[in-house]
Amino acid sequence: MLGTLTIKNFALIDHLQVSFENGLTAITGETGAGKSILLGAISLILGKRADLSSIKNSDEKCVVEATFAIENYQLQDFFKANDLDFEKQTIIRREILPSGKSRAFINDTPVTLDVLSSLGEQLVDIHSQHQTLQLTDNNFQFQVIDAVAGNDALLKDYAEKLALYQTTKKELKKLVDFQQEADKEYDYNSFLLKELESANLKEGMLEELEATYEQLNNVEEISENVSHALQVLGEEQMGTLSGLNELKAIFNKLSHFGTSYKELSTRIQSVLIELDDVYVEVQQLEEGLEADPQQLEEVNAKLQLIYSLQKKHNVMEISSLLEVQAALAEKVSKTENLEAEIKTLQSALQKQEETLDALAVKIHQQRTKSIPTLKSHLESVLSEVGMPNAKFQIDVITTEKYFANGKDELQFLFSANKGGSFNELKKVASGGELSRIMLAIKSLLAQYMHLPTIMFDEIDTGVSGEVSTKMGVIMHQMSKKMQVFTITHLPQVASKGDVQYKVFKEDINGVTSSQMKQLTEEERVQEIATMLGGKDVSSSALAHAKELLLKKV
C-alpha cells in the first residue's frame, strides 16, 4: 500500500508531504484545484516519462518520493532479478533536473524507467476514464474470466509449454527449410567431396610430390653430376678422400712435435670421417638414380590433380583443401541425417501439442464453469448502480489455434436495455456505463486476486443520487481487502471514505500553489455540505452531510 507521498517543485505544488492509511481514501476539491496534478506526480513514481514543463521553478529540480509497504506483494523475486535491495518499506524516488534529465531510484538504487514501470504496475492501478476503454480489450476480458476461474497455475504451465512448443516448431521449420536447400546442393557437394577424398590429400604432400617430380624429370643430369662428385671424392690418385688420407698421415707424424700439429691431425681425422660418410651417401644416391617414366607420369598426374583442385576451390595450400573437404563432409553428412532429425522433432512436436491441448481443455472447462458466477456478479452490481436491465452474454469458443492464453476465442457481449440485442461493449455501452461496468469488474477481481492499491479517477462521472451512493458503497467494500483511493466530485461517494483529503489552491506572495490536507470530521461535514449545496451552506445541507457520513455502508 501507499504509505507516504512527498512532492517538491512539481506543477503548482511547491512542497507537499502526506501520509495515507489502508481502507478507502476520498480526495475532493474544486475543478482545477490540482487533483490531476496529484495523479501526475504519482504517475512519475510509477514510471511515466517526465516532462520538463512539470517543473514549477525551472532553476530547481523536481522530486517526487513515495513509500510503499510491500511485505505482502510477493515481490522478492522481482527485486532479486533486478539486483535491488528488498525492503518491506520500499522507497521510490523520481527526480527531474532543470536540464530535463530524469532519474529514478528504488531504495536509493538507480533504475531504468522500464524497471520502475514494471514495479509500478504491481503497486498501483490508476483507473482513469481513459482506462475504461481497457474493458473492450479482449485480453483484459480474458484476464477477468481467468481470475474468476482460478486459472493462474494452468495458464503458467500452458505458457511454459507453449514457449517450448514454439521453439520446437521454429527448429523444425529451420531444418525443413535447410533440407530443401540442402537437397538442391547435395549431389554437387557429394561430387566435390568424392573428388577431394580420391586425391588422398595429406599435409606436406604437395612439397613431397614436387620434389619427386623434379628428381624424376631431371634424372640424367642428376646422375651425371653425382657420378662426377664420386670421382672428385674417391679417385685413387687425385680424389678428395685420397688427399685427406695423405694429409692425415703427414700430421700423424708431426703430432708429437707440439699441440698445434696434434690438434690439426685431430681435425683432419674428423673431416675425413665426415667426408667418408658423404661419399657413402653419394654412392647410395647414384645407386637409387634410375629413369622411371611411369612413376614420373603418375607423380605428374597427382600434381596436376592437386593444382586443379586448388584452382577450383580458390586456395593455395593442401591444408586449405583439407578444410574444404571437412566442410563438405559435414554438409553431406548433415543432409543425410536431416530426415532422422526432422522425424525426431516432428514426434516431439506432436507430444507437445497433445500436452498443450490437454491444458487448453482444462483452461476452457474452468472458464466455462466460471461464466455464470461472473455474469451473476456483474449484473447484480450493475443493477445496484442504476443499470437494472444490464445483461451479459459471455461465450468461450474452442479453436484449433494456439493463443498465448489457451485455444479459446471470447465473445463478451452486452445489452443495457430490456429486450435489447447483445453487441460488443464498445459499440453499445456509453462512457458512464463503461465506468460502472469497470467498477463492477474491479470489485469482483478484488475477491479473487491480490490487487495493488487502486485509484479511481472520477469513475463516478455521469452518475448521481442513489447510483453514486451505491458506487461509494462498492468502493468501500473493496477497501476492506485493499487500499482504495477515489477522486470524486460527488458527496455521496466522498462520504464513504474512511478518510477524506481536500485539494485546494492558495495564493502566497502573489504565487498560486496547490495544497492538500486531511480533513477533520467537522471539516468533512463542511466540505460535503459544500459539495451538496454550493458555497452558501444551508442547515439542511449540513444535516444531509452528517447523515451521509453516518452511513458508510
Tell me the DSSP string of 315-355: -SSHHHHHHHHHHHHHHHHHHHHHHHHHHHHHHHHHHHHHH
User: How does the average pLDDT of the chain come out, rounded?
Assistant: 85
pLDDT band at 72 (very low <50, low <70, confident <90, very high): confident
Q: Taking residues 283-292, what's their average pLDDT? A: 66
Domain ranges of the chain: 1-123+452-553, 178-337
pLDDT for the residue 333: 75
pLDDT band at 218 (very low <50, low <70, confident <90, very high): low
Q: Taking residues 436-441, what's their average pLDDT? A: 87
* CB-neighbour burial class of residue 282 (10 A; exposed 0-12, middle 13-18, buried 19+): middle
Give the CA distances from residue 456 to residues 84, 106, 156, 432, 488, in Å, rounded to whole numbers and listed in that order: 30, 25, 30, 14, 8
pLDDT for the residue 201: 80
Overall size of the chain counted in residues? 553
pLDDT digits (tens, 9 = 90+) for 519-542: 999 999 999 999 988 878 888 989
pLDDT digits (tens, 9 = 90+) for 445-498: 888 877 789 999 888 777 777 888 899 999 999 999 899 999 999 999 999 999
pLDDT for the residue 186: 64
pLDDT for the residue 200: 82
Phi, psi (degrees; rounded to nearest 5) at 69: -90, 115
Q: Is the per-residue pLDDT at 310 higher than 90?
A: no
pLDDT band at 330 (very low <50, low <70, confident <90, very high): confident
CA 193 to the chain's CA centroid: 42
Q: Is the per-residue pLDDT at 300 higher than 90?
A: no
pLDDT for the residue 318: 85
State the DSSP code for 438. Answer: H
pLDDT digits (tens, 9 = 90+) for 336-355: 777 888 899 999 999 999 99
pTM above threshold 0.85: no
Closest CA to 192 of 308, 99, 277, 285: 308
1-123+452-553: which CATH architecture? 3-Layer(aba) Sandwich (3.40)
CA distance linking residue 70 with residue 2, whole number of Å:
9
pLDDT band at 232 (very low <50, low <70, confident <90, very high): low
Q: Is the per-residue pLDDT at 552 higher than 70?
A: no
